C-alpha cells in the first residue's frame, strides 16, 4: 500500500493515468470488483505488461500514522492509501514484487512510503529510490520476507530463540523456521535462514529429510514442522501451545493463525539422541560459520547485485592499491593494509555456466589486471590451490574488502576507505 500525499482522496482516473505515464499504454483496466465494504473508495483490476498476474488496485482511508510506529511527518500528513494486490509468479516472484512496488512508488514523486502488508515492512522514500526506482536498482531477495524472532527476553544468557520467516509462502515456497536456537547463535542462524530462502527461490528444494549443502562444508535438512514441533516442551518457543494449535488436531493455516500451514524447519543432517532421536537446530553448520570453517553459498541474484556494486566502486579500490605500490609498500606484508578481492572463475561450460568465487590477497596491479595470492581452497576448480599467485582481470572481481589496522571497508564505504589509506600513507612516509 502506498501512502498518498495530500488531503484529497486519489481518484481512479488519476491513478490509472499515473500508471500509464509510468508503464505506457500497455496498462489496461480489465474489470471492477464488487466492493465488500464501504471503506473502499474504488477499485480496478488492471493488467500491466511487466507483471504476470492481474492486479487489483484500490483506494481507502489511511489509518492513523501513530499506529505504524514511525515518526515521519510526511506519513502523518497522508490521509489516504492506494493498495495493490497480486499473485506473485513461482518462477520470478522478486521480479513481480519489485514491479508492484515500483507501480505504487511511481504514482507520484512525493509518495513517502510503501507498506508491505504480508511482512509488515515499511519501504520509505529513500529506500524506494535506491532499491526500486533507480535505473540500475536490483533489490535483494530479502525484501520478499522478514525473519521474526520469538524469545522470552533477557532472563538468561542461554535463552533459546524461535526464528521463522513471513513472506515466502506468497512466493510459492514453504515458510522456514529454526527452533530452540541459543541466543548467542542467532545472528548466524538468521544468515543461514536467509541463505536457504534465497536458494529456494532459485532451485527446487530437496525432499524432506534429505541432507543438502547450503555452503562450503555446510549440510542441513528440511523437515515438515509436524515432524519437529510436537516433540518440543509445551513451554518452549514455537511449541504447539505457543502456536495456539491443538496437539492432536489436523493443523491448517488460517488468516488468524499462519503457524499451521506449509512450513519447513531447518535442522542438522542427523537427529540427536540415542533413546528417542529428535531433529534439532543445525549446530555443527552454524558453529562452522562462526569459526570461519564454512561459507554460505550466495544466490546468482545476490552475486550479480554485489558484482555491480563492487565494479562501480572498483576504481577507488584500484587507486588505493596503486598509491601504496607507488610508495613502495609491500602488500604481502602483514603490517601493510590488506586488499582482498573475491574473483569469479568459470567452473563449467555452456551458455550459463556455474562460477566459483575465490578470495585473493592482492599484491600487484598492471593496468586492468590484478595479481593476488589465493586464500581459500576451491571446491570446483581443482587445478588451483591456496597460496598460489594468479593474475585476473578487474572485471572478474565480484566483491572486495580492505583492512587498515583493525578496521575493514567494502564497496559501500569507499570514502572512509580512501581516508584510512591516505592516513596510513602519511603515517608511513607517503605524500602529506
Please tell me the predicted confidence (pLDDT) of residue 90: 93
Mean pLDDT computed over 258-272: 88
Asked if pLDDT for residue 250 goes beyond 60, the answer is no
What angle do the packed helices 314-326 and 414-427 form, to 10 degrees?
10
Asked if pLDDT for residue 249 goes beyond 80, the answer is no
Please tell me the predicted confidence (pLDDT) of residue 254: 61
C-alpha distances in Å from residue 108, one per residue of 16, 76, 250, 273: 12, 17, 47, 59
Please tell me the predicted confidence (pLDDT) of residue 299: 83
Phi, psi of 160 (to 5 degrees): -95, 160
pLDDT digits (tens, 9 = 90+) for 284-295: 999 998 886 778
Residue 408 CB contacts under 8 Å (≥ 6 apart), including other chains: 401, 402
Q: How many CA atoms lie within 13 A of 367 on its CB side?
A: 0
Please tell me the predicted confidence (pLDDT) of residue 298: 81
User: Would you place residue 425 in the very low, low, confident or very high pLDDT band (cuts 50, 70, 90)?
Assistant: very high
User: Would you place residue 242 in the very low, low, confident or very high pLDDT band (cuts 50, 70, 90)?
Assistant: confident
Mean pLDDT computed over 143-156: 80
Residue 214 CB contacts under 8 Å (≥ 6 apart), including other chains: 192, 195, 196, 199, 220, 285, 296, 297
CA-wise closest residue to 152 among 259, 245, 237, 244: 237
CA-wise closest residue to 392 among 338, 429, 355: 355
What is the pLDDT of the chain when averaged over all its residues? 88
* Contact between residue 285 and residue 192 where contact means Cβ atoms under 8 Å apart: yes
Relative to beta strand 212-216, strand 175-182 is unpaired
Asked if pLDDT for residue 131 goes beyond 90, the answer is no
Please tell me the predicted confidence (pLDDT) of residue 172: 94
* Percentage above 70 pLDDT, the chain: 92
Residue 115 CA to residue 84 CA, distance in Å, equals 10
Asked if pLDDT for residue 17 goes beyond 60, the answer is yes
* Contact between residue 421 and residue 337 where contact means Cβ atoms under 8 Å apart: yes
User: Would you place residue 175 in the very low, low, confident or very high pLDDT band (cuts 50, 70, 90)?
Assistant: very high
pLDDT digits (tens, 9 = 90+) for 303-359: 888 888 899 899 999 999 999 999 999 999 989 999 999 999 988 776 666 778 899
Torsion sign over Cα 216, 219, 225, 229: negative
Instruction: Please state the domain extents for the chain.
Output: 2-142, 145-296, 300-427
Is the entire prediction scored with pTM above 0.95? no
Residues 189, 193, 198, 203: what is their CA dihedral angle, to the nearest 10 degrees? Answer: 120
**How many other β-carbons are positioned within 10 Å of the β-carbon of residue 423?**
13
* Percentage above 90 pLDDT, the chain: 60
Please tell me the predicted confidence (pLDDT) of residue 155: 47
Asked if pLDDT for residue 57 goes beyond 90, the answer is yes
Residue 81 CA to residue 1 CA, distance in Å, equals 6
* Contact between residue 118 and residue 167 where contact means Cβ atoms under 8 Å apart: yes
* Contact between residue 140 and residue 302 where contact means Cβ atoms under 8 Å apart: yes
| H or E element that contains 149 | strand 146-150
pLDDT digits (tens, 9 = 90+) for 177-234: 999 999 999 999 999 999 999 999 999 999 999 999 998 889 999 999 999 998 898 8
Residue 1 CA to residue 154 CA, distance in Å, equals 35
User: Would you place residue 241 in the very low, low, confident or very high pLDDT band (cuts 50, 70, 90)?
Assistant: confident
Q: How many CA atoms lie within 13 A of 31 on its CB side?
A: 8
Please tell me the predicted confidence (pLDDT) of residue 142: 93
Asked if pLDDT for residue 68 goes beyond 60, the answer is no
Asked if pLDDT for residue 430 goes beyond 70, the answer is no
Task: Between 242 and 87, name the one with better pLDDT.
Answer: 87
What 3 state SS string does 334-387 have? CCCCEEEEEEEEECCCCCCCCEEEEEEEEEEEECCEEEEEECCCCCCCCCCCCC
* Contact between residue 47 and residue 54 where contact means Cβ atoms under 8 Å apart: yes
| Per-residue DSSP letter, 34 | P
CA-wise closest residue to 277 among 228, 314, 234, 319: 228
| Per-residue DSSP letter, 67 | G
Asked if pLDDT for residue 67 goes beyond 80, the answer is no
Residue 197 CA to residue 284 CA, distance in Å, equals 19
Helix (H, G, I), strand (E, B) or coil at 282: coil
Task: Between 398 and 25, name the one with better pLDDT.
Answer: 398
Torsion sign over Cα 55, 100, 87, 82: negative
Amino acid at each position: 500500500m502506498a501512502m498518498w500525499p495530500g488531503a484529497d482522496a486519489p481518484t481512479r482516473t488519476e491513478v490509472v493515468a499515473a500508471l500509464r505515464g509510468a508503464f505506457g499504454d500497455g496498462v489496461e483496466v480489465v474489470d471492477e470488483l464488487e466492493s465488500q465494504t464501504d471503506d473502499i473508495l474504488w477499485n480496478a483490476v488492471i493488467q500491466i505488461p511487466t507483471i504476470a498476474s492481474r492486479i487489483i488496485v484500490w483506494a481507502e482511508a489511511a489509518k492513523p500514522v501513530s499506529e505504524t510506529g514511525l515518526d515521519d511527518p510526511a506519513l502523518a500528513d497522508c490521509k489516504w492509501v492506494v493498495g495493490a494486490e497480486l499473485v506473485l509468479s513461482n518462477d520470478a516472484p522478486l521480479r513481480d514484487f519489485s514491479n508492484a512496488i515500483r507501480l505504487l512508488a511511481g504514482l507520484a514523486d512525493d509518495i513517502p512510503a510503501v507498506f508491505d502488508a504480508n511482512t509488515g515492512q515499511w519501504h520509505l522514500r529513500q529506500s524506494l529510490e535506491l532499491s526500486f526506482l533507480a535505473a540500475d536498482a536490483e533489490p535483494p531477495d530479502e525484501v520478499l520476507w522478514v525473519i521474526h524472532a520469538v524469545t522470552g527476553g533477557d532472563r538468561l544468557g542461554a535463552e533459546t530463540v524461535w526464528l521463522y520467516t513471513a513472506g515466502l509462502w506468497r512466493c510459492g515456497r514453504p515458510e522456514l523456521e529454526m527452533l530452540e536456537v541459543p541466543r548467542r547463535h542467532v545472528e548466524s542462524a538468521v544468515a543461514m535462514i536467509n541463505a536457504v530462502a534465497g536458494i529456494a527461490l532459485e532451485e527446487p528444494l530437496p525432499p524432506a529429510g534429505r541432507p543438502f549443502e547450503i555452503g562450503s562444508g555446510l549440510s542441513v535438512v528440511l523437515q515438515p514442522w509436524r515432524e519437529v514441533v510436537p516433540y518440543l516442551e509445551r513451554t518452549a518457543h514455537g511449541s504447539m501451545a505457543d502456536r495456539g494449535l491443538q496437539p492432536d488436531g489436523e493443523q491448517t493455516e488460517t488468516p488468524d493463525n499462519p503457524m499451521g500451514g506449509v512450513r519447513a524447519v531447518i535442522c542438522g543432517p542427523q537427529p540427536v539422541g540415542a533413546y528417542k532421536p529428535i531433529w534439532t537446530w543445525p549446530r555443527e553448520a552454524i558453529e562452522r560459520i562462526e569459526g570461519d570453517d564454512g561459507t554460505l553459498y550466495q544466490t546468482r541474484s545476490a552475486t550479480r547485485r554485489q558484482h555491480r556494486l563492487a565494479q562501480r566502486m572498483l576504481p577507488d579500490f584500484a587507486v588505493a592499491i596503486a598509491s601504496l605500490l607507488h610508495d613502495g609498500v609491500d602488500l604481502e606484508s602483514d603490517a601493510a593494509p590488506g586488499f582482498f578481492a573475491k574473483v569469479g572463475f568459470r567452473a563449467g561450460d555452456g551458455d550459463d555456466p556455474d562460477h566459483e568465487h575465490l578470495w585473493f590477497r592482492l599484491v600487484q596491479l598492471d593496468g586492468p589486471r590484478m595479481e593476488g595470492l589465493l586464500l581459500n581452497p576451491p571446491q570446483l576448480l581443482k587445478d588451483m590451490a591456496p597460496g598460489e599467485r594468479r593474475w585476473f582481470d578487474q572485471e572478474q572481481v565480484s566483491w572486495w574488502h580492505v583492512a587498515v589496522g583493525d578496521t575493514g571497508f567494502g564497496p559501500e564505504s569507499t570514502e572512509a576507505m580512501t581516508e584510512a589509506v591516505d592516513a596510513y600513507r602519511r603515517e608511513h612516509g607517503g605524500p602529506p
